[in-house]
Amino acid sequence: MYIRSIELENFRNYRRLDLEVEPSVNVFFGANAQGKTNIIEAIYLCTSTHSHRTSKDQELITHGEHDYKVKLKLTSSYNAYDESVSVIYTDGTNKNGDLSPSKKAKKTVFHDDVPYEKMSEYFGIFNAVIFAPEDLMLIKEGPSVRRKYLNVLLSQVKPMYFHELTTFARLLMNRNRIIKNARIKNSKVMDSALKEELSIWSEPMARAAARIIRDRYIFSLRIDAFARKHHESISHSSETLFVKYKTCVPVDMLENFNEEKVVEYLYQKWNDSVEDDFQHGITNFGPQRDDLLMSLDGDGLRMFASQGQQRSAALSMKLAELDVVREETKDSPVLLLDDVFGELDAQRRRCLLSEIGDAQIFITCTDKSFIEQELVDSMQENSKIAFFEVVKGAVTRV
Ligand SMILES: Nc1ncnc2c1ncn2[C@@H]1O[C@H](COP(=O)(O)OP(=O)(O)OP(=O)(O)O)[C@@H](O)[C@H]1O
Ligand SMILES: [Mg+2]
């Protein structure tokens, strides 16, 4: 699948953009703060319905405006049919900036101009993998970044995963709210009616959690194998990367996965920890604490690896994501390379470029001459490179 055109309205520093792009390589160049990443962000938004830079849609609206729109016209690689995806967000304020009584902030996604009620049905329609300076957070930051990596990847390739994830999140939020409300009433002791109520929530929660854990486990094995292969070639086989799924279920239960047994295990655990959760005011046990542990030859990456090793590992993780999406969808996702040419050294750039294949790519950089030759060297014959100059939210093909 590739993008034919990008339309933006009131998105970041673009009041309006209508841009036709090439099915192969598109390079956006220009000075800092002109709007290059904003284009990458808009494309990525159509994959995950969220920005890779912020969780606040309000920040994406052009200052002084009240809604944004992103639309991509696409052509499917299977049947060459034209399709479109769009994301529209309105912040719920009227033109004076007052909250109008009838409107609430709302985000809607569309496929071929038909709105999707359920995000789980939307995921997978348009797939993209982004490589950005923020990737290093995968190594440096806490578990929530790696859970997000898993969640976004799995939602793209397995829409039911997203369904289970939102079900679990809703049930967990309810359970936590019940605990909090009970503590407000009586912070010392919990009564049996409350225990009973929490136990009712635990059952569907255990079902959704078991399926999330199963999928995360299965995919983590593939991510591990792919990431190790890439890390080997980036580091010239000098070190071995391991990626391991860390969850609340014992390893032997994961390896011989039986959904009913895992549901029973989680249900019991939540029932047993009910007093503890009441004392802490929150549900402590469950996949909401999951992590991916990464190590190089046995040493934890976050603590012990050098900056260069961390960069290589982050790139390997992203290339593994690309492999999984390719394998699952039997198609090349669109590749978004934001600033990676400035961030990566020549060897890592070569590894990345060698993986591109026939994917459509969007690249941002400040200096186009810097990457021109490397791109030409890595590209397939007959592929066309389009260069776009970005100046203050205006894009010109050169
Ligand atoms: N909501 C918004 N409304 C208007 N302008 C915005 C908004 N959000 C960001 N901007 C502007 O967008 C510009 C930054 O865009 P972007 O991040 O795409 O820059 P860039 O070209 O990628 O720069 P760099 O080379 O430094 O990465 C800034 O000028 C910023 O003020
Ligand atoms: Mg940028």
What does the pLDDT profile of the chain (398 residues) look like in tens digits? Answer: 899 999 999 999 999 999 999 999 999 999 999 999 999 999 999 999 999 999 999 999 999 999 999 999 999 877 778 999 999 999 988 666 666 656 789 999 999 999 998 877 898 899 999 999 999 999 999 999 999 999 999 999 998 999 999 999 999 999 999 999 888 887 677 788 888 888 998 999 999 999 999 999 999 999 999 999 999 988 887 889 999 999 999 999 999 999 999 999 999 999 999 999 999 999 999 999 999 999 998 888 888 888 888 989 999 999 999 999 999 999 899 999 998 877 777 888 888 888 777 889 999 999 887 777 777 777 766 678 899 999 999 999 99
Record: fold of 1-127+331-398? Rossmann fold (3.40.50)
CA of residue 34 to ligand 2 center, whole Å: 8
Q: Is the dihedral of CA 85, 91, 94, 95 positive or negative?
A: negative
Q: Is the distance from CB of 216 to CB of 247 less than 8 angstroms?
A: yes
- Ligand 1 pocket check for 366: Cβ under 6 Å: yes
What is the number of the ligand closest to the CA of 38?
Answer: 1
From 8, 9, 38, mutation site for ligand 1 pocket: most ligand atoms within 8 A of C-beta: 38
- Ligand 1 pocket check for 62: Cβ under 6 Å: yes
CA of residue 127 to ligand 1 center, whole Å: 24
Which stretch of DSSP H or E encloses residue 367?
none
Q: Where in the chain are the domains?
A: 1-127+331-398, 136-330
- Ligand 1 pocket check for 36: Cβ under 6 Å: yes
- Ligand 1 pocket check for 10: Cβ under 6 Å: no
Encoding tokens for residue 221? 């094995």
pLDDT at 340: 84
CATH of 136-330, one of 3.20.19.10, 3.40.50.300, 1.20.1050.90, 1.20.950.20: 1.20.1050.90
pLDDT at 195: 87
CA of residue 346 to ligand 1 center, whole Å: 27
From 34, 56, 89, mutation site for ligand 1 pocket: most ligand atoms within 8 A of C-beta: 34
Nearest Cα to 88, choosing from 48, 46, 35, 47? 46
Encoding tokens for residue 109? 């996604």
CA of residue 12 to ligand 1 center, whole Å: 7
CB atoms under 10 Å from CB of 352, counted, come to: 22
Q: Which atom of ligand 1 is nearest to the CA of 35?
A: 18
- Ligand 1 pocket check for 34: Cβ under 6 Å: yes
Q: Whose alpha carbon is nearest atom 26 of ligand 1?
A: 32
pLDDT at 187: 64
* Phi, psi for 160 (deg, rounded to 5): -65, -30
Nearest Cα to 340, choosing from 350, 331, 326? 350
Cα(71)–Cα(10) distance, integer angstroms = 12
- Ligand 1 pocket check for 37: Cβ under 6 Å: yes
CA of residue 90 to ligand 1 center, whole Å: 20
CA of residue 243 to ligand 1 center, whole Å: 34
The set of long-range contacts for 303-312, using a CB threshold of 8 Å and a minimum separation of 24, is 305/139, 308/345, 309/235, 309/239, 310/136, 310/139, 310/140, 311/136, 311/343, 311/344, 311/348, 312/231, 312/234, 312/235, 312/348
- Ligand 1 pocket check for 369: Cβ under 6 Å: no
Please provide the distance, in angstroms rounded to a whole number, between the alpha carbons at the two ends of the chain: 25
pLDDT at 221: 98
pTM beyond 0.75: yes
CB atoms under 10 Å from CB of 60, counted, come to: 21
Q: The tokens 């992103």 sit on which residue?
A: 70
CA of residue 364 to ligand 2 center, whole Å: 7
